[in-house]
Amino acid sequence: MISLISLIPDFPGKYKFLNILLQISPFKFHRSRYGPLLTGDKGDLTYSFSLAGAYGTFIRDEIQQSPKESVFIDIGANGGLYSLIAAEANMEAVYAIEPNPSTFCHLVTNIARNGHKNITALCTAIFSNDQNLLPLGVAHNHSGLSSLVEPYNSNVKVLTSNSKIFDALLQLHRGPFIIKIDVEGAERYVLNELFKSKIESAINTMIIEISERYHSTGEIREIYKALSNNGFSELRRSGATIHYDAVFQRLASK
């Protein structure tokens, strides 16, 4: 069961079936198709997707092909799938940022189970206000949809951090920094804090999930404008027109 769950082929109703298997499985951890051992809430679709390889190979390949001296900052880390892939790729350091306290517990557990010493986990949300508590909309059957901007019914409040959290990293690392942003509609807040921070000039690559679920066409244009104004251009993307992951790279000095 530890390894076979990740090898289930695609068929209609696959993830419902996978959730049933997870409910009856005696094991706490399961080997993801991406490699790391993971635990999570057994009714959580994000956990099932992470085990079964539903997110494709686009982000994994981007991480694995990055320079080994890079520092990977995973903003919206969830259970740590991509942070663990970055650690296994022998990056200099990995910072996994996840605001949801419940999901953060799984993140820390997954880091410990996989034995990586170069991952630092931080339970906070990147926002313009520092050290405030904000309500987090939590989708309990799909933790990856948790959002500061989506009004799910939730009593969860999360601690916020602004650009200062990134400033401290420059005292520890020279970079280059690779930033993955998966924050369900809060991308503009995160980018604003990154571009105000002291690591801004050392950021080489950004991998950003962009979705019309949270943004109008005009708002997406504003995201692209902010990236362009700070020297970033889109190199490639993967996914549908209205929901995709895109890689942005600083191609020249500002």
CATH number where 105 lies:
3.40.50.150
Domain ranges, residue 158 = 56-250
Distance CA 194, CA 188 (A): 10
Residue 50 lies in a domain: no
Residue 3 lies in a domain: no
Distance CA 200, CA 61 (A): 24
| Mean pLDDT score of the chain | 91
Residue 141 lies in a domain: yes
Determine the 3-state secondary structure of 157 from DSSP: strand
Which DSSP state fits 202?
G
- pLDDT classification of 65: cutoffs 50, 70, 90: very high
Backbone dihedral angles phi then psi of residue 130, each to the nearest 5 degrees: -100, 135
Residue 230 lies in a domain: yes
pLDDT on residue 27: 85
Residue 115 lies in a domain: yes
pLDDT digits (tens, 9 = 90+) for 174-215: 889 999 999 999 999 999 999 999 999 999 999 999 999 899
Q: What is the pTM of this model?
A: 0.93
- pLDDT classification of 230: cutoffs 50, 70, 90: very high
How are strands ordered across the β-sheet holding 243-250?
Answer: 119-122, 93-97, 71-75, 177-181, 203-211, 243-250, 232-239
Residue 238 lies in a domain: yes
Report, in this order, helix, strand and coil percent for the chain, each rounded to 5.
35, 25, 40
The tally of domains found in the chain comes to: 1
Q: Residue 162 pLDDT > 50, yes or no?
A: yes
Determine the 3-state secondary structure of 249 from DSSP: strand
